[in-house]
């Protein structure tokens, strides 16, 4: 039987060895899910929502232990692990409150004995292939509304957060979701590939652009529902009328929170030349206050990177920027020892010839570029193949709206960043993906619309 080793990214030590799935076990789980889904869909919505309610209560009751598991396998600082679990609760509350309304059948026409109705029916069996950086958020954004709307879910957590993935499945089973309706498959990319080969009705993926592209190629000809939530190179522009210190403190957090490993981390910053130097000084000071260390420690802000190969990506971006004339104001080095440590890094005198301003860093590294005016900022913000989020800092709402309406991104922020709301759709444009989660549309997305044309006899 094949196995999956789970390692602690803070020190490289093996913390668990899990039995992994193979093509045969994935196929067996897919067949069981197919067989079990109609009975699950036939249960009243209130019963399915009751399972979500019980799941929420279990998360609350076991929150501290679940946070420790996540921190040990991903290196997420322990306070941030608890934040993620606490942040999950309002998302569950949103699904509980909105599900019924979002998928209620609608009568859209009624005249002369003719009635027209729209019904939302479950897709059937869906595959969810997920990322490790916010395993509870990105997993549950798919799993919970998919189950609530009557689907069976085949869930492949990332190999870097498999213990957490198994915990999500365990709590859902204990909450009353049948094992066959919510099946977890364990393993790396090849297990993901095996999952794609199954008879599924939808594929919901969260991860990198490269893998998203491979998945789209693998299933493209099958006309499945396909959603891809991918990476970004999220820009923010700080106008000259913004408070440089307040903006710097907010954006340093937006760039470095979760050790910079958020899909909506601030990845590049443009600052109006009039306040550039004051902003940079305050930014470096804010970063200097971030404590890097043991992720289990309560005062740690910067932990290890979850994936070791990312150390090379960050080192290469910094080296490329240096070689092209950038200045590294702080950080820039791989830390010593067996863990995956990279110093929080601030780079200035950057431009768009440099990888640091073009390719996703996904780590505690930021480039800050000086701009002359709004037009230059807009041009640079749009000079990317990605389009996940973008932000503007200015006290002037009209100016922010004017700028952000010209920026290609799924979510835009005024005087805030690195923020996700269950009430708003989460989506990307361009290479940041297709489809969406969250909001009422992120509930409906797990259904297909069925049109009813009903004529009264006689």
**Given the rule CB under 6 A, which residues bind ligand NAD?**
129-133, 138, 156, 158-159, 188-189, 192-193, 196, 206-208, 211, 214-215, 229-232, 263, 360, 362, 388, 426, 428, 433
Which tokens belong to 206?
């969260």
How far does the chain reach from its first CA to its final CA, in angstroms?
A: 65
Taking the complex as a whole, the smallest distance from the CB of residue 203 to ligand NAD amounts, in Å, to: 9
Which tokens belong to 107?
């009568």
Residue with Cβ nearer ligand NAD (309 or 336): 309
Helices and strands of the chain, counted as H and E runs: 14, 20
Taking the complex as a whole, the smallest distance from the CB of residue 396 to ligand NAD amounts, in Å, to: 29
Taking the complex as a whole, the smallest distance from the CB of residue 265 to ligand NAD amounts, in Å, to: 8
> What Cα–Cα distance (Å) separates residue 101 from each residue in 144, 424, 437?
16, 16, 17
Catalytic one among 229, 267, 355, 360? 229
> What Cα–Cα distance (Å) separates residue 196 from each residue in 3, 26, 189, 219, 244?
20, 10, 11, 7, 48
Residue with Cβ nearer ligand NAD (369 or 389): 389
Residue with Cβ nearer ligand NAD (207 or 422): 207
Report the interhelical angle of 397-404 vs 374-381 (nearest 10°): 40
Contact call for residues 127 and 204 (beta carbons, < 8 A): yes
Taking the complex as a whole, the smallest distance from the CB of residue 160 to ligand NAD amounts, in Å, to: 7
Taking the complex as a whole, the smallest distance from the CB of residue 60 to ligand NAD amounts, in Å, to: 24
Pick the closest to residue 306 from 80, 66, 1, 19 (CA basis).
80
Residue with the shortest CB distance to ligand NAD: 192
- Which residues, listed in sequence order, are joined to residue 14 by a DSSP beta bridge? 7
Contact call for residues 347 and 317 (beta carbons, < 8 A): no
Residue with Cβ nearer ligand NAD (329 or 434): 434
Residue with Cβ nearer ligand NAD (95 or 132): 132
Residue with Cβ nearer ligand NAD (21 or 294): 21
CB atoms within 10 A of CB 80: 22
d(CA 98, CA 443): 8
d(CA 372, CA 367): 17
Residue with Cβ nearer ligand NAD (88 or 263): 263
Taking the complex as a whole, the smallest distance from the CB of residue 145 to ligand NAD amounts, in Å, to: 15
d(CA 117, CA 281): 60
Burial of 74 (0-12, 13-18, 19+ CB in 10 A): buried
φ/ψ of 292, rounded to 5, equals: -100, 135
Contact call for residues 327 and 349 (beta carbons, < 8 A): yes
Taking the complex as a whole, the smallest distance from the CB of residue 426 to ligand NAD amounts, in Å, to: 6
Pick the closest to residue 438 from 425, 427, 447 (CA basis).
425
d(CA 226, CA 398): 36
Active site residue 229: yes
Which residues are the active-site residues? 229
């Amino acid at each position: 039987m094949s196995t999956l080793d789970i390692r602690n990214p803070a020190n490289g030590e093996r913390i668990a060895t899990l039995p992994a799935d193979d093509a045969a076990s994935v196929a067996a789980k897919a067949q069981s899910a197919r067989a079990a889904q109609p009975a699950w869909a036939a249960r009243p919505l209130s019963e399915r929502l009751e399972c979500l309610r019980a799941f929420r209560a279990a998360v609350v009751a076991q929150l501290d232990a679940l946070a420790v598991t996540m921190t040990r396998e991903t290196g997420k600082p322990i306070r941030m692990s608890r934040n993620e679990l606490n942040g999950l609760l309002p998302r569950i509350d949103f699904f509980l409150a909105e599900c019924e309304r979002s998928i209620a059948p609608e009568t859209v026409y009624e005249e002369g004995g003719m009635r027209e109705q729209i019904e939302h029916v479950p897709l059937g069996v869906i595959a969810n292939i997920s990322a490790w950086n916010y395993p509870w958020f990105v997993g549950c954004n798919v799993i919970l509304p998919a189950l609530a709307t009557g689907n069976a879910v085949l869930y492949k957590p990332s190999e870097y957060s498999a213990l957490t993935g198994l915990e999500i499945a365990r709590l859902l089973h204990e909450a009353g979701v049948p094992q066959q309706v919510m099946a977890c498959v364990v393993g790396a990319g090849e297990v993901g590939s095996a999952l794609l080969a199954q008879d599924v009705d939808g594929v919901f993926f969260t991860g990198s652009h490269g893998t998203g592209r491979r998945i789209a190629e693998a299933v493209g000809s099958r006309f499945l529902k396909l959603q891809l939530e991918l990476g970004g190179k999220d820009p923010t522009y700080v106008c000259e009328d913004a408070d440089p210190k307040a903006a710097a403190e907010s954006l340093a957090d937006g760039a470095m929170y979760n050790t910079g490993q958020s899909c909506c981390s601030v990845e590049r910053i443009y600052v109006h030349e009039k306040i550039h130097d004051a902003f940079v000084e305050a930014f470096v000071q804010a970063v200097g206050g971030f404590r890097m260390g043991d992720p289990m420690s309560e005062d740690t802000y910067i932990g290890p990177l979850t994936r070791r190969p990312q150390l090379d990506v960050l080192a290469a971006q910094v080296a490329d920027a240096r070689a092209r004339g950038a200045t590294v104001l702080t950080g820039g080095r791989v830390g010593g020892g067996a863990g995956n440590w990279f110093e929080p890094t601030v780079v200035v005198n950057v431009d768009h010839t440099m990888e640091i301003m073009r390719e996703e860093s996904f780590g505690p590294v930021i480039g800050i570029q000086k701009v002359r005016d709004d037009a230059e900022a807009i041009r640079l913000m749009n000079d990317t193949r990605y389009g996940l989020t973008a932000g503007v800092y200015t006290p002037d709402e009209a100016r922010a709206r004017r700028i952000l309406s010209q920026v290609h991104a799924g979510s835009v922020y005024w005087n805030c960043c690195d923020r996700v709301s269950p009430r708003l759709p989460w989506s990307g444009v361009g290479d940041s993906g297709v489809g969406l989660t969250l909001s009422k549309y992120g509930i409906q997305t797990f259904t297909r619309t069925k049109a009813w044309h009903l004529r009264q006899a006689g």
